[in-house]
Amino acid sequence: MSPVNYLYLAALLFTIGATGVLLRRNAIVVFMCIELMLNACNLALVAFSRMHGNLDGQIIAFFTMVVAAAEVVVGLAIIVSLFRSRHSASVDDASLMKL
Amino acid sequence: MENLIALLIAAPLLGAAVLLCGGRRFDRVGHLLGTALAATSFVIGAALFANMLTKSVDDRALHQKLFNWIDVGGFQADIAFQLDQLSITFVLLISGVGTLIHVYSIGYMEHDERRRRFFGYLNLFLAAMLLLVLADNYLLLYFGWEGVGLASYLLIGFWQHKPSAATAAKKAFLVNRVGDIGLSIAIMLMFTTFGTFAFGPVLGSVGETSEGMLTAIGLMLLLAACGKSAQVPLQSWLGDAMEGPTPVSALIHAATMVTAGVYLIVRSGAIFNAAPDAQLVVVIVGAVTLMFGAIVGCAKDDIKKALAGSTMSQIGYMILAAGLGPIGYVFAIMHLVTHGFFKAGLFLGAGSVMHGMNDEVDMRKYGGLRKYMPVTFVTFGLGYLAIIGFPGLSGFFSKDMIIEAAFAKGGTEGWILGSITLLGAAITAFYMTRVMLMTFFGEKRWQPDAEGHLPHPHESPKSMTIPMIILAFGSVFAGGFFSIGDRFLNWLEPVTGWDHGHAPISATTVTAATVVALLLGVSIAWVMYGRKARPVPVVAPRGSVLTRAARRDLLQDDFNHVVLVRGGEHLTRSLVYVDHTLVDGVVNGTAASVGGLSGRLRKLQNGYARSYAVSMFGGTAVLIAATLLMRAV
Amino acid sequence: MNGLNVLAASTTSTGEAVQFWVLGTVAVIGALCTILMKRAVHSALCLAGTMIILAVFYLANGAYFLGIVQVVVYTGAIMMLFLFVVMLVGVTAADSLTETLKGQRWLAALCGLGFGVLLIAGIGNASLNNFSGLGAANGAYGGNVEGLAALIFTKYVFAFEITGALLISATVGAMVLTHRERTEPAKTQRELADQRVRGKHLPPLPAPGVYARHNAVDIAGLLPDGTPSELTVSKTLRDRGQIRDVSQQALDDIKALEQRSEERLGRKGPIGEVDKAGQGGGDGVAHDRNEEEATR
């Protein structure tokens, strides 16, 4: 088996995650889908790292995880405060950005 | 002496300013002041003339630059004057005849409460006309040109309480505007071609310019001349301009302003000499107008309109002569000067007759006036003899010269032009004799005026008769004085050049033919209007088709109405239609489509983060597709 | 350790292939369940499963450190945070899966499909067939963790520092976002008890209509001794002075009743009188109000 298959899997997971972002209204699920996309990227980075025989890809995947952690913390805080004020976690409820 | 040139213009200009702005306090002396300033101008002109005579031929032109008028980059125009033989001739004619007519107007306008204003306008006219002939560049000439147009408008419409006068003034102004556009285009062409307007450089560098450009400039100048000098096709305003007071008709619409076109062509002679096509058109315009005016003059019963037709015809002679090139320039100017005398005299005589006949203008209601107005009769008669070219009088010499010059053009062209001028001479003799017979001879056909009073013809006051007498002297002797010893020719030749052409027939033959034509015209008129057995009917008979057409000015207004007014209306309507449908359609359509598109695009901004995410995601997909495509290519 | 190194070499073993196909299928199913489950908590659990599988794949690819971190940080910490928030929002709340934005589902499907196809086509086009494996890289410093440590603290040390700053800001940010400022100090139990006892009325306030002969809110209830108590009327009405006198109201009502019955029986009396009587009540209120004002 060729390790390229990992890349195909990563692409598939990324696409599923992206489609989920577009389809789901619950902000928490949307967030999960974003995590899924990030994980797919990480998988691709790890596979690349293996293909090219150096560890830089893993380093970047590591940083991605750190950033994802930070992002989740802030994002979930935002969701919580939104929920407090609106009693809803739907992203469609926050639709004031229109003309 | 140069410094006096500006004074020539300044004197009447001062008069105009004082009389028009000074208000009623000048009512009592206004006419005297105006006349004095006109006379001042004439005296200065005479002094300059005398001074010029003392100089040698090559040294006669004077220049005076007052100040730099316009100075914008390469666009230079000066208020500068040029006084040469041609200009001084005009100066003397304008200020001389002008002064006489001022004097005449003192009597003629005595009972008009707006006499001061009238004299203000007359002075304004003199100033503008002098500026026109003294300018040393085309732009300043244009200034004067517009100035005389303004004065003409104001004076034609002087009795603006009469709707006909107001309309006539507007008509004259509008028709003149067409010509003025020609002049302005000509000046613009000159500037692009020569980079200057001054006579010297423009006329001096004609040799280095293409004939096409010169023809274009020449034709535009001719258009200007047609407007100002009432030549076909811009002739229609002159007849109506007779609504103005008679002194105005005499000064502006007979002696001076209408000859500005001739001056323009003669002054620009160098351009026309180098553009034979333009010259040919000038000749054709002159010939057509000559016949046109003569035919109209034959049919009119209004004495002033008959004279107006005659003016048109005589200016046609001048334009024709000017179109002949160096053969005719001098004679055009000579006829212009003699015409200035006798036509002004005739108009003043007509004014005198109207003065005595309760302002009646219809010649069919005159008759037998010679006993009642002897001075008028004699002066008018001398003018009449002069204009028909009675041997020995002014018109005889000047017109004869033009006919000779027309023949001297040579070839078929010469024969055709010569014949037309001869025929014109015969018709001139006919219609002038008709005017003479209907006015001063025959039975009294006086009709009571609107209040039922029969007119009591009487001789006019001295202030009116003296100018007429002086002008009659001019009519009689000017031609002979100019011609004998070729005085006028020698005088003007340094400016306009002269070429004797190659006449196919001798001068004597031409003179004999002219005299025969004259006698023919006179005798036909005598047969039709002079015999006791056939009295002139008070109400005009129906007449032939040609007569009726000529009474309607050969349908010129109808032509203008059908072709220009209707055509213009249709053009305007179609343009409006195009504007409403096409232009507005495009504009509104663009606006509507942009609005509609915006309305649709607006829906994309629905505020839902997920919709925006779809756009981003789709955009990413497109970017990837583009990248792959570029790699594939 | 050595065996794992062999596993991470340039060729993949049959075992890894089997592992990939089995676990890869499960991962995709987990991902699909994540986006298709109605309840957020189910989505979170599916995602956690997918992440664990990804951790296995990291290990299979020779990224041992990342594999472990994936399990500990992602599945352990982050997903638990997610579950915490899901619980906060309501674990039983099921999302409606019907689409509210017009065309959103089609567009999303189209974009997702196109994107996936293009991405996979791009990977297929790339020449990635020769690869070197991590054996050498992992062995350079004596192992995967050592190799990563060497890189992080040498080549990527600035990035590492900055991520540290990022984490701190994220923490502070989360605190700021969820923090609610108090406008007064919190009350102790003692203060609450004192507040309760110090009031005028130890028992609860009487409800409107108690002992009343009328059920309108602007008529005061009667105390056991028969006197009306203004306390039974809403404070708003009291402040506005819109209290009706119950005794007067009762008399008015009886008068109106008599009149109506007379009309019914004998059809005497003008119709207007009924209205007048009705208005009398209103007038009575106004009258009372005026009196009250006068007494003040």
**Tens of pLDDT along B154-189?**
999 999 899 999 999 999 999 999 999 999 999 999
Neighbours of chain B (3+ CB pairs under 8 A): A, C
Mean pLDDT of B574-583: 91
Query: What's the whole-number mean pLDDT along residues B377-389?
Result: 92
pLDDT at C210: 56
- Nearest chain B alpha carbon to A17: B617
Give per-residue burial for B448-481: e unless 16+ CB within 10 Å, then b: eeeeeeebebebbeebbbebbbbbbebbbbbbee
C-alpha span between B151 and B129 (Å, rounded) = 9
Which structure tokens are listed for C66?
A: 């990342």
Q: Which residue has better confidence, B559 or B228?
A: B228
What pLDDT does C139 receive? 77
**Is the pLDDT score of C45 beyond 70?**
yes
Domains of chain A: 4-95 (1.10.287.3510)
Q: What is the reported pLDDT for C136?
A: 76
pLDDT tens-digit series, residues C70-128: 999 888 888 988 998 888 877 666 777 777 777 888 888 999 999 999 988 888 877 76
Sorting pLDDT into bands at 50, 70 and 90, what band is B261? very high
Closest-CA residue of chain B to A15: B617
Q: How do residues A40-89 score in pLDDT, each as one tens digit? A: 999 999 998 888 888 899 999 999 999 999 999 999 998 888 888 877 77
Residue spans in chain C of domains classed CATH 1.20.120.1200: 12-93
Interface B–C counts its CB contacts (< 8 A) at 35
pLDDT for the residue C275:
46
pLDDT tens, position by position, C263-289: 888 765 455 444 444 444 444 444 444
Model confidence pLDDT, tens digit, residues C146-192 = 889 998 999 899 999 999 999 999 999 998 888 877 778 888 888 88
pLDDT, residue B119, reads 93
> Which of B83-97, B501-515, C75-89, C214-228 comes out lowest in average pLDDT?
C214-228
- Do the Cβ atoms of B602 and A21 come within 8 Å? no
pLDDT per position as a tens digit, B580-617: 999 899 999 999 999 999 888 887 777 888 888 888 99
3-class secondary structure, C83: helix
Q: What is the mean pLDDT of chain B?
A: 89
Q: In this predicted structure, what is the pLDDT of residue B99?
A: 94
For chains A and B, count residue pairs whose Cβ atoms are closer than 8 Å.
30
Helix-helix angle B507-525:B374-388, to 10 degrees:
130
Q: Would the CB atoms of B609 and A25 count as touching at under 8 Å?
A: no
DSSP classification of residue C72: I
How many angstroms separate the CA atoms of B335 and B492, rounded? Answer: 13
A76 touches chain C (CB under 8 A): yes
Residues of C in CB contact (< 8 Å) with B are 101, 104, 107-108, 111-112, 114-115, 118-119, 121-122, 125
Q: Which CATH architecture has domain C12-93?
A: Up-down Bundle (1.20)
Burial status of residue B428 (CB atoms within 10 A of its CB: 0-12, 13-18, 19 or more): buried
- Residue B105, sorted as left (phi over 0), alpha (psi -120 to 50) or beta, turns out to be alpha
Q: Tokens 């054996």 map to which residue?
A: C135
Tell me which H or E stretch contains C108.
helix C104-125
Q: What is the pLDDT of residues B417-461, one digit of tens each?
A: 999 999 999 999 999 999 999 888 888 888 887 777 788 888 888
Residues C56-83, mean pLDDT to the nearest whole number: 90
CB contact under 8 A, B625 and C118: yes
Taking contacts as CB-CB distances below 8 angstroms, the residues of chain A near B617 are 18, 21-22
B111 close to C (CB below 8 A) = no
> How confident is the model over B383-391, as a mean pLDDT?
91
Q: Is the pLDDT of residue C262 over 70?
A: yes
Interface of B with A (CB under 8 A): 602, 605-610, 613-614, 617
d(CA B513, CA C76): 132
The pLDDT, as a whole number, for residue C254 is: 81
Instruction: Give the lowest-confidence range in A36-40, C48-52, C117-121.
Output: C117-121
Say if the Cβ atoms of B617 and A94 lie within 8 Å: no
Least confident of B33-37, B215-219, B226-230, C246-250: C246-250
Mean pLDDT taken over chain C: 78
Q: Are B395 and B342 in contact (CB under 8 A)?
A: yes
Q: Please write the tens of the pLDDT for every residue from C4-20.
A: 444 444 457 788 889 99
Predicted pLDDT of residue C288 = 47
The band of B546, judged by pLDDT with boundaries at 50, 70 and 90, is confident
pLDDT of B287 > 80? The answer is: yes
B549 versus B47: the higher-pLDDT residue is B47
Q: What are phi and psi of C12, to 5 degrees?
A: -105, 140
Which chain C residues are Cβ-neighbours of A59 within 8 angstroms? 148, 151-152, 155-156
Residue C283 confidence (pLDDT): 45
> Which of these ranges, A33-42, C53-62, C230-239, has the smallest mean pLDDT?
C230-239
